[in-house]
Structure 1
Amino acid sequence: MVPRILLDTAQVPDGGELRLLQRGAEFSIMLGANELMNSRLSGSEEALAELACDRLGARRGLRILIGGLGMGFTLRAALARLPADADVVVAELVPAVIAWAHGPMAAIHGNSLADPRTHIVEADVAESIAQGDWDAILLDVDNGPDGLTRTGNDRLYGARGLAIAKQALRPGGILAVWSSAPSKPFVRRLSEAGFAVDEVAARANRGGGARHVIWFATVPE
């Protein structure tokens, strides 16, 4: 049996320690006993970008904000769907995650980090949201609205955070949120914030696996 090797660790502000592990060609990022992501399971993270881009349609000069770099699944899927004049900003809070993308997981990320449409910023995504003028905000910064990694992520999913996101989006813009599980209270908060909400189930992998949830919350035009 191929052993699992610990490659590196990184502290998450207010939220414990991330561990990057490798078993053969497979990588995983763990927080305690919880596996946050695995290089074999990319389906729902890719769907987050693909379905959001499909909903935006053929607009010019699209500006997309992705919260969390992770293993780059959402970024690569967005680049594959977006036109040449799009601008994709990825806000990643943990510097080590960016270093892992350029280092041990470079092959997984491929050419996405060098794509001229890609701009990686070391920042809390809440700060990037507040800068405004986005066509879409794609959030995959935690296991969903319940905030596993950082208690500070609650400010993204609470009433005030949703109001800020709505104000930061252009008319017809989309707030897309990935979650490991459904949340009726979060759907209610999205509706109360003035979004039109569509809940979609997405498998962890193209062939099956765990069923995750993506909410597409659209700003009225």
Structure 2
Amino acid sequence: YMIRRSDRAKRATIKVDQNRNVRVISPRHVPATEISALMDQKANWIYSHTIASKRSLPPERRYQDGEVFPFMGGTITIRIVREDETFWRFCGDELIISVPGDFIEYHTKSAVRQAVSLFFKSQLYVFSIPYFEHYANQLQMPVPAIKIRDQKTKWGSCTPKNIILNLRLCMAPKNIIEYVIAHEIAHKVNPDHSPAFWQTVEQLMPDYRERREYLKEHGHEWVL
């Protein structure tokens, strides 16, 4: 485990991240012997949280033929074919991606990843438009411009000119995508996370708490 000394810490605390790294955040005055005793005392807790973190690790994407991705509450299967040009088409529950036959493995993986990203981006954009129109109408405001981007940490963000959605939302169930849309468009009324903001979200979506909790619990699973 690693120890990080902090002037702000009032007592020693233990944290386990998703990569099963154990960290102790401690005031500067706490001796190493006391931290070691704390680790012994919390050994069972650390073990259980390490196992839980292992189970919650996101899947590793290989971008190979037959790989399955979550998609709007269901799944899609990647099918790779060798042709002269790179393109993709969606057929049933399969995303068929064509790559040149002379591509080496690295270039094939890169082309497949790009195709998956473009597919998700287009599908999320088309799916989200009616919801933006619906919620904008409820709040009596113009429909905002919509941008879809691959963001590392945020599921959505709101700027004065547009609303940005994370393309990885395409891997979430549809009702979770709808929650993020309602959340972001509510920021057009209240730019912060004040009680007034959450009242606006609840006005648009009375069951938003359940959807927000689902997003917190499962969002780490939707990786590209």
Per the normalisation by structure 2, the TM-score is 0.23
Per the normalisation by structure 1, the TM-score is 0.24
If you compute each CA radius of gyration, which structure gives the higher value, 1 or 2?
A: 2
- Structure with bigger strand share is 1
- Structure with bigger helix share is 2
